[in-house]
Amino acid sequence: MKRRWFEIVAALALMALVPGLSGPASGRTGADGPPSSLVLIAGDLDGTPAYGCGVMVAENRDAVTIVTAAHNLQMRRRVVVTAAGERLRVMAARSVAGHDVALITAERPWRAYAIARVADRPAPGTRVHVWGPVKNEPFTLQDGIVREIDPRVNDLPPGAFAIDCAECGHGDSGSGVFDGDESLLGIVTASYSAGNRRLFVLGEHYLPEVASHPVREGQGQLGGRQAEALR
């Protein structure tokens, strides 16, 4: 039990060192805070602090499965922390072929957590929200609405959808896109822009079958859809 308490304290200390992150969870006006299926993923890229998010989507007696954006696997010295502030021991991480999605296997949390309920792929006009880092809060509510994908974008994975989300940005990669019932609609994977104007944030609808797709061991791929700009 002492070891677990030390890990929680260490995780909170690491989050305080990451620029823009000051604690395990933020409040939400008129609600109880972020879904307890969310996790924060912190690490570094070439010595620069970096962070993303993930969602717990499955579990067994010993472990949970976390879905995130594949490019989050490029972080070195990754630390995964639940919305309750508990650091999880990662057992494996692999990207899913044909998707900008990765699956992380981690030891089951001791503190309160939940497995996300998965909803159907959202239709344009659906109001959604994302919980991700904004300023100094690791889990901050960001509202959005599903829209049609710009026709100039191609080579998209099955299940891709677009959302308008004014506050979404760096650090939201891998965060869940939730409906009003806190059901999981998809995972944030990229942001598309033309010049200095962002057109939309790309989400990928998550289905349990994704976990059965071929997986690639390694650090994921950064580039392609993640870095694409519309001309």
- pLDDT at position 100 is 83
45 and 141, same domain (yes or no): no
111 and 157, same domain (yes or no): no
Asked if 44 and 121 touch (Cβ cutoff 8 Å), the reply is: no
Averaged pLDDT for residues 205-223: 51
- pLDDT at position 192 is 76
- pLDDT at position 203 is 83
Q: Kindly tell me if the per-residue pLDDT of 172 is higher than 50.
A: yes
pTM of the model: 0.78
- pLDDT at position 178 is 93
- pLDDT at position 195 is 64
- 83: containing domain: 2-115
Closest of 171, 149, 207, 143 to residue 71, by C-alpha: 171
- pLDDT at position 33 is 83
d(CA 228, CA 231): 9
pLDDT tens-digit readout, 6-41: 333 333 344 444 444 444 433 333 356 889 999 999
Averaged pLDDT for residues 70-78: 89
- pLDDT at position 208 is 59
CATH number at residue 141: 2.40.10.10
Q: Kindly tell me if the per-residue pLDDT of 88 is higher than 60.
A: yes
* Enclosing H/E stretch for 145: strand 137-147
Count of structural domains, the chain: 2
Q: Would you say residue 135 lies in a domain?
A: yes
104 and 135, same domain (yes or no): no
86 and 186, same domain (yes or no): no
Q: Kindly tell me if the per-residue pLDDT of 90 is higher than 90.
A: yes
Q: Kindly tell me if the per-residue pLDDT of 182 is higher than 60.
A: yes
Closest of 103, 105, 74, 52 to residue 220, by C-alpha: 74
- pLDDT at position 104 is 93
